[in-house]
Amino acid sequence: MKKLFFVAIIAAAVLTACFMELAYVHNTFNRLNTDIEALITAIEKDNDVGRAETLEMINDINDYWENRKRLVQVMLNHLLLLEYDAKITRLKSDMEVGDANLTRIDAAQLHSMTKELKELYTPHFHNIF
């Protein structure tokens, strides 16, 4: 009976850790998704005030990602996250240079990557088989 109780506690701890991991990743990518959607709207303004606001938004996204990146890298495919990290850096440098077209393209790609990473991590029937 003691062994069964011990196994039940271990199983409960593992399940709790899995759900906490899932919630952490979902919260991270949900916030990034809404921030990137707001960023795309700011990029569309395409004026001097919009550029300063856009650069500030990119810096906020970058700071948030830097704070969350280490733990997310433990849970998800590292190569995909390196590409995601590089895309954020490229988006920031495109905006600093002032290339609006590349900024729009990189923001759209970052938006789709955010949705894709969240979808890859979500347990669905088609992800299992």
Q: Judge whether 102 and 73 are in contact, CB under 8 Å.
A: no
Instruction: Quote the mean pLDDT of the chain.
Output: 85
pLDDT at 51: 75
All structural domains of the chain with their residue ranges: 25-122
Say how far apart CA 96 and CA 122 lie, in whole Å: 34
* Domain 25-122, architecture per CATH: Up-down Bundle (1.20)
Band (21; pLDDT cuts 50, 70, 90): confident
- Quote the pTM value: 0.81
Q: What pLDDT digit, counting tens, does each position of 26-56 carry?
A: 899 999 999 999 988 888 876 665 677 888 8
